[in-house]
């Protein structure tokens, strides 16, 4: 089944369904990515923070050398981490990340979060503590978004990146960037699932030619594993897989609730990047364009919206609050 394409403002094309690399272990990333290519994935969503870019790149390079794909068939998204927002750091990190992938260029480079933290030498820190400074704190730095955006534009000018965009930004910052951008904001990656539908942000993006990619399409996957701040938000509401309009659509179309959640996004032209370390779920998540829900069904799922956000870095760092959506 062919994977539909989203046309980006840069003029390049991005697959509508891709594979997310967060929590894909370094040890298995090359094989997972290779297998994902074999079943048809053509977009990989990475980040410096995921610490597996080199291994993901290895999987892609093997698929190229085995003749499964050509470089231009695959779309790589990656992200600039918060400690590298200063222009010189952003350029150095992008170069390092691009070398780790080993594919010549990055298709889409995003600013991961709209917050700058003090520089930390990437050679001196080990994940996950590496974004915490010597004093044991998450230390903000005074770097305006404009400086970082202009560094991203340099990546396009020099051919390191084909398209650039942002993640976890809201409308105010998008409007602001647009006042000085030389290169368009091609994409916005956000938490997007029926419990956090963000319809106004989607509309703003649509009106401004910014493609939207959803992350965490299944919402909080298991409330039991959530840090306390998340668990409190989730108390008393069903997992999205069990929520009524999702479960009934799954039964009607003979697909899984996960496929319904992904289709709810793609049918509304929102790209998705689910991750799975399980081969059968990996395959199932790609097979999400072969059925069409009715407008009423899409609306019923959108009706689950409760403005419930589950991914704010502050929740992961209870001793070092960094609530960027406060």
Ligand X SMILES: O=C1CO[C@H](CO)[C@@H](O)[C@@H]1O
Ligand Y SMILES: NC(=O)C1=CN([C@@H]2O[C@H](COP(=O)(O)OP(=O)(O)OC[C@H]3O[C@@H](n4cnc5c(N)ncnc54)[C@H](OP(=O)(O)O)[C@@H]3O)[C@@H](O)[C@H]2O)C=CC1
Pairing of strands 106-111, 75-80: parallel
Of 173 and 311, which has the nearer Cβ to ligand X? 311
Place of tokens 């298991």: 222
Tokens (6 digits) for 35: 């297998």
- The answer to whether 173 contacts ligand Y (rule: CB under 6 A) is no
195 is catalytic: no
Asked if 10 and 211 count as a contact pair (C-beta separation under 8 A), the reply is no
Helices (H), 145-241: 145-157, 171-178, 199-207, 228-234
Selected from 10, 168, 266, 267, the binder of ligand Y by CB under 6 A is: 168
User: Number of residues in contact with ligand X, rule: CB under 6 A?
Assistant: 6
- The answer to whether 20 contacts ligand Y (rule: CB under 6 A) is yes
Selected from 10, 36, 42, 49, the binder of ligand X by CB under 6 A is: 49
Find the part of the chain contacting ligand X (CB under 6 A) among 169-177, 199-207, 237-245, 309-317. Answer: 309-317
Q: What is the DSSP string of 195-223?
A: TB--HHHHHHHHHTT-EEEEE-TTSSS-G
Of 54 and 61, which has the nearer Cβ to ligand X? 54
- The answer to whether 316 contacts ligand X (rule: CB under 6 A) is yes
Tokens (6 digits) for 6: 């989203």
- The answer to whether 219 contacts ligand X (rule: CB under 6 A) is no
The Cα–Cα gap between 231 and 234 comes to 5
DSSP label at 51? T
Asked if 56 and 91 count as a contact pair (C-beta separation under 8 A), the reply is no
Find the part of the chain contacting ligand X (CB under 6 A) among 158-166, 220-228, 232-240, 308-316. Answer: 308-316
User: Number of residues in contact with ligand Y, rule: CB under 6 A?
Assistant: 26
**178 to each of 82, 145, 193, 316, how far by Cα in Å?**
21, 12, 26, 31
Of 179 and 280, which has the nearer Cβ to ligand Y? 280
Catalytic residue among 34, 48, 50, 195: 50
- The answer to whether 281 contacts ligand Y (rule: CB under 6 A) is yes
Q: Which residue is nearest to ligand X (CB)?
A: 49
Selected from 12, 141, 311, 324, the binder of ligand X by CB under 6 A is: 311
From the CB of 47, what's the least distance to ligand X, in Å? Answer: 5
Is 112 within any annotated ligand binding site?
A: yes
Q: Which residues are catalytic?
A: 50
Residue ranges for the known binding site are 112
């Amino acid at each position: 089944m062919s994977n539909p394409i989203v046309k980006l403002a840069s003029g390049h094309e991005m697959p509508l369904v891709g594979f997310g690399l967060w929590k894909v272990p370094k040890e298995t990333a090359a094989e997972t990515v290779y297998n994902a290519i074999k079943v048809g994935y053509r977009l990989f969503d990475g980040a410096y923070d995921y610490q597996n870019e080199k291994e993901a790149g290895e999987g892609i390079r093997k698929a190229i050398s085995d003749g499964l794909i050509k470089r231009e068939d695959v779309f790589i998204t990656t992200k600039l981490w918060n400690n590298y927002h200063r222009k010189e750091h952003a350029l150095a990190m992008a170069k390092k990340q691009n070398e780790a992938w080993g594919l010549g260029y990055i298709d889409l480079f995003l600013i991961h979060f709209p917050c700058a933290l003090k520089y930390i030498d990437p050679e001196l820190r080990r994940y996950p503590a590496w974004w915490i400074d010597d004093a044991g704190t998450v230390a903000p730095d005074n770097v305006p978004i404009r400086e970082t955006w202009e560094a991203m534009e340099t990546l396009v000018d020099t051919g390191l990146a084909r398209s650039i965009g942002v993640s976890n930004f809201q409308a105010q910052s998008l409007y602001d960037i647009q006042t000085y951008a030389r290169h368009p904001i091609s994409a916005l990656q956000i938490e997007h699932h029926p419990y956090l539908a963000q319809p106004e942000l989607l509309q703003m993006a649509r009106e401004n030619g910014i493609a939207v990619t959803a992350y965490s399409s299944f919402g909080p996957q298991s409330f039991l594993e959530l840090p306390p701040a998340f668990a409190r938000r989730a108390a008393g509401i069903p997992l999205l897989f069990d929520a009524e309009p999702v479960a009934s659509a799954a039964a009607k179309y003979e697909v899984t609730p996960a496929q319904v959640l992904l289709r709810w996004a793609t049918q509304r032209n929102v790209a998705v990047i689910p991750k799975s370390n399980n081969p059968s779920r990996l395959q199932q998540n790609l097979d999400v364009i072969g059925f069409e829900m009715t407008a009423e069904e899409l609306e019923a799922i959108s009706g689950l919206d409760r403005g419930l956000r589950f991914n704010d870095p502050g929740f992961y760092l209870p001793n070092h609050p960094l609530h960027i959506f406060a």
